[in-house]
Structures are given as structure tokens and as C-alpha cells.
Amino acid sequence: MSGRMQVISALQRVETARVPIGEIGGGYTDVIIKALLGADYQIGSDAAFQNHLKVRQLLGADIVGARVLGPPVEVIGIHEDWRTDIYSDFWGACYTQPPDATVQLVTPIANTPAELEAWQAPDVSKFDKSLIHRWKTDTDFFVLATLNAGFDLGYELLGFERFMMWTIQARKVMHAYFEKLIQTNLKLALMSVEAGADGILIADDLAFNTGTFVDPDYLRSDYLPLLKGMVSEIKKTGVPVFLHSDGDLRSIIPDLIDCNIDVLQSCDPNANMDIPALKQEYGRDLVFMGNIDVDLLASGTVAAVENTTRNLIRAARHGGGFILSTSNVVASYCKTENVRAMYAVAHKELT
Amino acid sequence: MSVSDNSIQQAILLGNVDSISKSVNQLLHEGVAAQSILDDQLLSGMAIVGERFKRNEMFLPQVLMSAQAMQTAIDLLKPHLLKDSTALKQQTVVIGTVKGDMHDIGKNLVRIMLIGAGFEVIDLGVNVPAQRFLETAAHHRASVVCLSALLSSTMNNMKEVVDCFRGDPDLRQTKILIGGAPVSREFSKAIGADGYAPTATDAVEKVQLLCQ
């Protein structure tokens, strides 16, 4: 059975011989791909596509994540402290990546609510969707197109604290901001479907390990209706919608079901998101994906990874509705032997 | 108005900067001691905020607003607190995300809650080298240093910071608290830190204990 069919079966609540497995987004960092492929790691033209293909074939993954691509980032200066490039993305925010560290926002898209009100979302209609098309036509992976919505992207572009304060101080402006972001991402979603995506993944972190960032009532009144509208438009095309959010979402799972989300991804055990328990309560309405702790892959033993993966599969596989993945992506600091062990168990644990 | 009125506490809970400024100025004008305003209303207000946040009755935006109101009030009280030699000196906490790690949501939340609890907080930001923690703690005579990390790959840099402090004859007694998704009580003990806090509210309680 192809990877695509493995995932579709899970969505249809059909239990297949083995559980489907794969990662969202880029899935595996280049450091991990290089370590896993060794001498087979390719450089030169077309290397990124070939390496992502080979690493999924090596591990036996069923899913590939891909994006509609915007124009390349533009270098606009040098950061004073770190002497690293400052670059601007198509949304208009500026970032830098200090040595040995992750990307950091340098200049937000707005410093005041008035600036945010005047901010215009970019025109994405000419963006490049060929990568999605290529994965669909050249492989039989389930092609999961990745984009955002309004919340996670909203605070990435504004800075976290400013964003959070403005949900109270500039509520109307923030609602309009959510609308702009969601409309733009909806366009990207429809372009992705047109290019052949089998599913749409909305990456939208709404929570941390102890609960939602903001009051669930605020989400219900100001944000989730917009998300529901986006999901509804995507689902008119016939593709399923996955939602990725870190954190403890238990207080809003019924609301996410009301938004017609098909798959909830991440389900981080550190945030009390236990897939077997969630499946028992909400399995008729939601498919669950994730639950393998990235830190376990980073610091655990092979035996611990095998046991955790095996126990999860045995507890969650019944009746389909479950996709195995890490609770985020396979990070650079994960041990390759643990990544191999997780995927090997998925292929050995047969009904 | 008197200090027994709870208008300041209400302003803290609502995160109302204008209202808290008026109330604090009025109490100062009436001759109420700055220390009394701090202890009886501001700190008790922020303690309620911490409790409500822990119980998911208040959320990040409200906590940020409360902390902003608290900071406004402390700025108004500071000149009066400095004049009063009997007033309790604010203890200083140095906080930052360790080298290699740019995550700051959890660290920022702890900073906000610490300010709310009445600490002077020096925030070094993210990707902070061990030496900078050391220099800043020495310069500000910090009581506690709080280290944050979100990544398994960067949590080991916490040990480097702890080792730097323990190896410095003047700073080896400085209390070090760690937090962040991948760290644990066991890890804290293993690297020789003085404590571990799983949440922001726990961090405030631990810092208060370490300062006693």
C-alpha cells in the first residue's frame, strides 16, 4: 500500500496492517538527513528534493510536507551584535539568525496598532507551487501542504508580547489582522490543492504546556470563527485539514472539532496530550497524529524509544484514526539511531 | 482613600495603568508609606494574578497587562523607597536564555511574574553566553540567576553557566534556578543548580524561597 493510501486509510478510520508514519513541514533537518544518508547525501542541483526523497524512503515514511514558495528573502543589513545578515521576508518582517542559534525577529511588521491597521498582506498569487506538484506526480507520499493561519504567524510577525497585549488593547485591529492573515493563507491553501496537495496542514501554535496562551473565550469569539471559515473553504475542495499546535489544547478540542478540523497534530506528551486517551474521547470526530516526544529522540536510549513507540501504536492503532509522528519535527539534535528505531518499530508492529 | 482600599489591587488585576498611577500618586500624597503600598496592595495583587494564572483563570495577555501596571506603580514608588532607609531593598534576579537558544516565551513569562512579585529583574535576553551571566550577576549583586532553555541541545549549556559560577570565588554562592521544556529536577541536581521550576508561577515561588 502506498504512503498516500496509508494516510487516507487512517483518515477513513480503516486500520491497516501497520500504522501510517511521517512528519509534518520539512520533517527532518538537513543535519539529520546528512547523518542518516551518509555517503548517499547529495549536493548540487536538485539535492534538496533528492535528499528529502531518499531519507523518507530510507525510514519508510508515508508523508512529505511541502509549501507554496514565496520569493527568496532579501538581505537588508547586518545585525550590530551578531554581525549576521538581517533579512526581510515577503510578509515585511525582518529577521536574523545568530551563530549556532535559531532565527530571531529584528523588526516587526508594526510598532503601533495604527501601523498594524494600515499593514497590507502580500499578494501571493504569483507564488511558486511547483514543488507540491512535483511531490505529487513523482512520488506516492501523502503530500501535506504546509501553511499558517492567523495566530502563530500573527505573533511571529509582531513579536509575542506585543501581540498578546494587543489582543486586549487593540481588539478590533487584531481581529482585522487575523482576517488578513487568514485570507492570505487561504489563498495559499487553495493554490496548494490546485497543485495536487493531498491534505493541508495549518501550523498554528495556540498553546503552551499548561494551556492556551489566551482565554479560550477570546479564541471562541475573535479567532476560531475565522479559522472555521478558512477550514470550510479548504474542505470544499475535498482535501482534509490538519492542524498543528504545540501545547495543551484540551480546553478547546470541542471547538476545534466545531471548526471541522480533521487531524490534530503534535499531541505532545509533555503537555498532557495523550493520544490513546484523546482518541477514546474524541476519536469519532478527530484523527490524532504525533505523540513521540522530540526530547526522547534526543536524549533517550534506543530501547526507550522502541518501548514508547510500541506501546503507543498498540494503544492507539485500533480502528484507524491515528498517524504516528514526533510531536514536532525531527530536530537536528535528535539521535539518528533513535529516529531509525522509531520508524523501524512502526514497520515491525503489524496487526 | 486609604491603603486599606483595594483600588490598587483592582488596577493590578485589570492591568489598568492609568488607574494605578492615579491611586498610587494619591496615596503617596496622603502620606502613605511607599513600602506599605508595595507590600499591602501591589504584591498581594500580583500574588492573586499568579494564582489565577496557575488555575487558568487569567491568561498571558491579562498577566502582561497586570505586570505592566505593576511596573508603572513600582516606577512611581521607587524614588520614595530609595529615600526610606528602612524600606526593604528589592532583590535582584538575572534572567536569560542560554547560549545557542533563541526561545524566549517561557523566559519572558518568568520575568514578568518576577517583576510582579517585586523583584528587580535584569533580562539578558536570548542566546546569552555563560560569561555574560557571570558579569551581570556580579555587577548587580544578583541574589538569583534564572536560566532558560527550550532545546535538548542547548540545555547542556546550562551546566557551563553553573560551572562558571561555582568556579568563581566571589559568585559561587549565587543561587541558580533552571527552567524550560526539556529540563527536570534530576537534571538540575546533576548540573549543580539550586533548583528547577516547571512553570512560571513555580519559578517565582522558588526564587522567593532561594532569597530567604
Q: Residue B88 pLDDT more than 60?
A: no
Q: Residue A276 pLDDT more than 70?
A: yes
Q: What number of CA atoms fall less than 13 Å from residue A232's CA on the CB side?
A: 8
Helices (H), chain A: 3-11, 30-37, 47-59, 113-118, 130-138, 152-158, 160-169, 171-194, 216-218, 224-235, 253-258, 275-282, 294-299, 302-316, 336-348
Name which of A283-287, B50-54, B143-147 the model is least confident about: B50-54
Q: What are phi and psi of A64, to 5 degrees?
A: -130, 135
In this structure, is residue A94 part of a structural domain?
Answer: no
Report, as an integer, the average pLDDT of B78-86: 70
Mean pLDDT of chain A: 95
Report, as an integer, the average pLDDT of A126-136: 97
Compute the distance between CA of residue B120 and CA of residue B115 in angstroms, rounded to an integer.
6
3-state class of A55 per DSSP?
Answer: helix
Report, as an integer, the average pLDDT of B172-180: 94
Q: Residue A346 pLDDT more than 90?
A: yes
Compute the distance between CA of residue A97 and CA of residue A236 in angstroms, rounded to an integer.
39
Does residue A278 contact residue A311 with C-beta atoms inside 8 Å?
no
> Domain B92-211 maps to which CATH number in 3.40.50.280, 3.30.565.10, 3.20.20.70, 1.10.10.10?
3.40.50.280
Compute the distance between CA of residue A213 and CA of residue A210 in angstroms, rounded to an integer.
9
Q: Residue A84 pLDDT more than 70?
A: yes
In this structure, is residue A248 part of a structural domain?
Answer: yes
In this structure, is residue A93 part of a structural domain?
Answer: no
Maximum CA extent, chain B = 55
Torsion, Cα B29 B33 B37 B38, to 10 degrees, reads: 130
Mean pLDDT of chain B: 87
In this structure, is residue A56 part of a structural domain?
Answer: yes
Task: Give yes or no for B190 touching A (CB within 8 A).
Answer: no
Domain range spanning residue A256?
3-70+109-348
More confident call, A222 vs A350? A222
Does residue A100 contact residue B100 with C-beta atoms inside 8 Å?
yes
Confidence of residue A82 (pLDDT cuts 50, 70, 90): confident
CA distance B159 to chain A (A): 16
Closest CA to A274 of A254, A249, A243: A249
Confidence of residue B2 (pLDDT cuts 50, 70, 90): low
In this structure, is residue A126 part of a structural domain?
Answer: yes
Bridge-based pairing state of the strands A199-203 and A85-88: unpaired
- Which residue(s) pair with B148 in the sheet? B97, B179
Q: What number of CA atoms fall less than 13 Å from residue A130's CA on the CB side?
A: 3
| Interface size, chain A vs chain B, as Cβ–Cβ contacts under 8 Å | 71
CATH number at residue A140: 3.20.20.210
B65 contact residues in A (CB cutoff 8 A): 165, 168-169
Query: Which pLDDT score, from 0 to 100, does residue B75 have?
Result: 87
Compute the distance between CA of residue B38 and CA of residue B130 in angstroms, rounded to an integer.
34
Query: Which pLDDT score, from 0 to 100, does residue A100 have?
Result: 64
What's the pLDDT tens digit per position in A42-65? 999 899 999 999 999 999 999 999
Exposure string of B89-127, with b = 16+ CB inside 10 Å and e = fewer, is ebbbbbbbbbbbbbbbbbbbbbbbbbbbbbbbbbbbebb
CATH 1.10.1240.10 matches B7-83: yes
In this structure, is residue A83 part of a structural domain?
Answer: no
Query: Which pLDDT score, from 0 to 100, does residue B58 have?
Result: 92
In this structure, is residue A100 part of a structural domain?
Answer: no
Confidence check on the interface: ipTM exceeds 0.95, yes or no: no
Q: Residue A237 pLDDT more than 90?
A: yes
As for how many domains chain A has, the answer is: 1
Query: Which pLDDT score, from 0 to 100, does residue B89 have?
Result: 59
Is the sign of the CA dihedral A252, A256, A262, A268 positive or negative?
Answer: negative
In percent, the amount of chain A with pLDDT more than 90 equals: 88
Task: Give yes or no for A212 touching B (CB within 8 A).
Answer: yes
More confident call, A199 vs A26? A199
What's the pLDDT tens digit per position in A190-209? 999 999 999 999 999 999 88
- Which residue(s) pair with A263 in the sheet? A242, A287
- Which residue(s) pair with A85 in the sheet? A78
Name which of A59-68, A337-346, B108-117 the model is least confident about: B108-117
Please answer yes or no on whether A100 and B126 come within 8 Å at the CB atom. no
In this structure, is residue A271 part of a structural domain?
Answer: yes
Query: Which pLDDT score, from 0 to 100, does residue B151 have?
Result: 76
Please answer yes or no on whether B59 and A214 come within 8 Å at the CB atom. yes
Confidence of residue B119 (pLDDT cuts 50, 70, 90): confident
Residue with grid cell 542547548, as numbered in its chain? B154
How far are the Cα atoms of A11, A126, A130 from residue A194, in angstroms, in the given order?
21, 13, 10
Give residue limits of the domains in chain B.
7-83, 92-211
